[in-house]
A and B are shown apart, each in its own frame.
Chain A
Amino acid sequence: MADDQSYDLTRFKATYFEECAELLAAAEETLTRLQEGGASADDLNAVFRCVHSIKGGGGAFAFEDLVHFAHVFETSMDALRSGRAELTPHVADILVRGNDVLGDFVRAAQEETALPADHGADVKAQLASILTGGTPAPAPKPAAAAPPAPAPAKTGFATWTIRLTPAPGLLKTGNDPLLMVRELAGLGDMDVAVDASRLPALAEMDALAAYLAWTFTLVTDKGRAAIEEVFEFVAGDSADVVIEQLGDAVLAEEGDGWGLFAPMPPAADAVAAPVQAAAAPTAGAHPPGAKPAGGEAGAGGIHTSSIRVDLDRVDRLVNMVGELVITQAMLGQQASGFSIESHPELVQGLQELSHHTRELQESVMAIRAQPVKALFSRAPRLVRDLSTKLGKQARLVMSGEGTEVDKTVIEQLSDPLTHLIRNSLDHGIESPEERMANGKPAEGTIHLGAEHRSGRVIIQVSDDGKGIDRKRVLEKAIEKGLVDRGAQMTDEQIDQMIFAPGFSTAAQVSDVSGRGVGMDVVRRNIQDVGGRVVVQSTPGQGSRFILSLPLTLAVMDGMLVAVGNERYVLPLTNIVESLRPTAQQARTLVNVGDVLTLRGDYIRLIRLYDLFGIKNAITDSTRGLVVVVETEGGDRIGLLVDELLGQQQVVIKSLDSNYRPVEGISAATILGDGRVALILDVGALRIMGERLNRAQVEAAAAAQAAE
């Protein structure tokens, strides 16, 4: 028998906590549905199982407080799923709180911190009160009444066989075997076998004589004394009673937390052997491919639909694939001089390599991708809780929950999204009275949506509230010294001011939307994962926060462009078209700056050489190339470059972590020839370009004025 001194539970803890996080989230999602009144038996079962699993694992690690709470929770869930208690909205609320407290316990266990002794006592009492019909008992008494023993109880269950053979005169002594049978059955779970072998022919039968004998198999935790007590008055004189505990000395260790329902047949091996022999051909008869062939090949396989892999391993894989992509690009470049005629195999091989590398990369990325559902699942609850708290009416509409995005992005997005929803409820949605006065429905709507657009994930939080009060925002910005008084700002620019550090328009700091550390932190969090956030607002009609996030953080398709001696990468997904404008198309408008007329539309033209101060670049737009790009917000701008060098996959190397954030640049990459190229951030370029143009326009105006 293995010595378990070396049995270290900590190795399982990580799995357990990971599992707990999933279970808690799943329970929360289901409970939210229950709150909304969409309960099904499956839902109740699912929540029960979540709590049950958390409790089960918690017991293994002896997290007593956690187990204690989970037990009460589990008991209530059990009552609900079996219909012994009714699921009312009030009960659903209690369950949601129960899940929160359970989460507290899990976190405390994970962080090895101690919670106050009475943590969650009120919720525990409420949970327990579900059993008694939902009258919330303030005292935690009912909870205390049903504490589970965290350690196996001292008296455990054992299986007994009891053979009762009454003397023929038993009935005449006033004893009734039926009563004994009933009493015995009351001790536990019992099977009865009747021995009717002593039964005489009917003609010879004495109605008052006992002919039958019984063999009882009883599973009970009551022990021998309790069984003997049943036969107290009959044993010996009026009946032959044999009481045996099943199994040998080891089995006799009752209360050890395990037991057998019946004695193992001594010839178990002999019986099992032919059975297995018979089973073997059956297994072998399965179509090939159902399992690997070979004697014990099936053993050791894990039959689950998913496996859990440490994120570090996936990251290593992602990194390696990234390097592979670079190597492949390098090889491709080296071999670009070879024609398929002179080196058919080499060229073909390289093409295949490129193809496989791409597939490999996509597969690896898919490992990290997760639906945003996990992120959205907290929202319904948040909206409901907050609207109650704020005395507002709001409903949440969600769309695109199945949209997949990198796990890291999802994790990083949790806080910002929560904050944005809070913000919408707190600052956006008006009170029901105010809404009705403005001819809106009393109930506000918050829409949370996700979709893939131009190779990025766009997550939007919009509301039909009052929109951004630009006058107040501007006043505040001036007051805080964020903009100069008298500065000319477009509505759009004013709206974006809410993301400035330290900016908060809440006249009174509410405990809902934080203390003015909100929006700038939101923006920073989103930028950290290579995303951007903008706000669009229409006074009186609402606001829309648009989060644009990269699908993955590692690799992307880019277009390599040349500006002077510099190389830049434009994300392929941003590119709409490229063209060499005619003199009629490229114009300079007064007060606007350089524009490109394209099929009747004006597009702002940004000269990259100007923006980045590059010499030796083509300055004449009719001689260079204009790449028309689209930002996530849907705006189009034209970028003037010297030439397009070709499309390639680039591995994204963060500039922030390797250097520092640079405006207009989202990241860097290493090219096939080993040079570093910067990846352009189209959204930021648009803003920079506008600023530059305005400065030039102002300078020109100033120069004119000076003349």
Chain B
Amino acid sequence: MGKCVLAVDDSKTMRDMVSFTLRGAGYTVVEADNGVTALKALQAAAKVDVIITDVNMPEMDGITLVRKIRAQPQHAGTPVLILTTESDQSKKDEGRSAGATGWIVKPFSPDKLLQIVAKVCP
């Protein structure tokens, strides 16, 4: 059974990149374009093994999303990775306190993405 990743980013380019990379490696990918749609997707999907979310998004940002995900008992243990930029150290900290599992710096290479996803979701 393939693992399912929820990719959340308001940028279609980024979503495409994450999806393409992960699908190529056999993952199933569900996409959402902000925190609100991500929560809906999470509710609708049968299972989500890993969540990868951007931080800066309209409607609901990634940090809030992480908090909301953590507030759901069934997702207390689901790995959540936040996509940050090199200059966004403060976001990384915020993500960490919100309960994110790890971070990925944008831009990332496909290898790195697969590496960390495999790491949090063996």
Contacts and interface: CB of A to CB of B under 8 A. Distances in A.
Interface of A: 1-2, 4, 7, 11-12, 15-16, 18-19, 46, 48-49, 52-53, 55-57, 59-62, 71, 75, 148-149, 152-153, 156-157, 189, 219, 247, 250-251, 256-262, 264, 268-269, 271-272, 275-276, 278-280, 282-283, 286, 290-291, 294-305, 308
A57 B13 contact: yes
Interface string B31-62: 11100011011011111110000101110000
A301 B30 contact: yes
Given A56-B106, A286-B43, A258 B93 contact: no
Interface string B73-114: 011111101000111010011011000111111111111111
Nearest to B23: A300
A276 B47 contact: yes
Contacts of A156: 105
Contact of B74 (A1, A275, A296): A275
Nearest to B24: A2
B71 interface: no
Interface of B: 1, 4, 10-14, 16-17, 20-21, 24-25, 28-33, 37-38, 40-41, 43-49, 54, 56-58, 74-79, 81, 85-87, 89, 92-93, 95-96, 100-116, 118-122
B13 A15 contact: yes
A290 B44 contact: yes
B96 A219 contact: yes
A4 B47 contact: no
Contacts of B31: 302-304
Given A1-B111, A303-B37, A261 B58 contact: no
Contact of A268 (B13, B30, B77, B105): B77
Contact of B17 (A12, A259, A275, A296): A12
A156 B20 CA distance: 26
Contacts of A1: 25, 111, 114-115, 118
Q: Which of B44, B89, B111, B113 has the most CB of A within 10 A?
A: B44
Contact of A2 (B4, B101, B114): B114
Nearest to A300: B28
Contact of A259 (B75, B77, B103, B109): B103
A56 B11 contact: yes
A1 B22 CA distance: 11
Nearest to A58: B107
Contacts of A60: 13-14, 17, 106-107
B77 A300 contact: no
A262 to B, nearest CB: 7
Instruction: Tell me the dominant secondary structure on chain B's binding face.
Output: mixed
A172 to B, nearest CB: 36
Given A2-B110, A299-B46, A304-B33, A259 B102 contact: yes
B107 A250 contact: no
Contacts of B32: 302-304
A300 B16 CA distance: 13
Contacts of A278: 74
Contacts of B29: 299-300
Nearest to A269: B122
B45 A301 contact: yes
Nearest to A296: B46
Given A71-B87, A148-B87, A276-B47, A282 B74 contact: yes
Nearest to B97: A189
26 contacts: A1-B115, A2-B25, A15-B13, A16-B13, A55-B85, A56-B13, A56-B85, A149-B86, A189-B93, A219-B92, A258-B116, A259-B102, A260-B102, A261-B101, A264-B101, A275-B74, A279-B74, A282-B74, A283-B46, A291-B44, A291-B45, A294-B46, A301-B30, A301-B41, A303-B38, A305-B37
A286 B105 CA distance: 36
Given A16-B13, A19-B12, A279 B119 contact: no
A296 B12 contact: no
Contact of A262 (B16, B54, B101, B121): B101
Given A1-B115, A283-B45, A258 B107 contact: no
A300 B23 CA distance: 10
B37 A296 contact: no
Contacts of A2: 21, 24-25, 110-111, 114
A61 B119 CA distance: 25
Contacts of B33: 303-305
Contacts of A259: 102-103
A223 to B, nearest CB: 16
B90 to A, nearest CB: 9
A304 B37 contact: yes
A247 B120 CA distance: 11
A340 to B, nearest CB: 47
A56 to B, nearest CB: 5
Contacts of B76: 275
Contacts of B85: 52, 55-56, 59, 148
Q: Which of B43, B86, B112 has the most CB of A within 10 A?
A: B86
Nearest to B117: A258
Contacts of B11: 19, 53, 56-57
B115 A297 contact: no
A537 B35 CA distance: 53
B17 to A, nearest CB: 6
Nearest to B44: A291
B30 A302 contact: yes
Contacts of A260: 101-102, 116, 119-120
Nearest to A221: B89
A37 B48 CA distance: 45
B72 to A, nearest CB: 9
Contacts of B77: 268, 271-272, 275
Nearest to A60: B107
Contact of B4 (A264, A296, A304): A296
A302 to B, nearest CB: 5
Contacts of B74: 275-276, 278-279, 282
Nearest to A260: B102
A261 B84 CA distance: 13
A4 B86 contact: no
A16 B15 CA distance: 11
Nearest to A22: B12
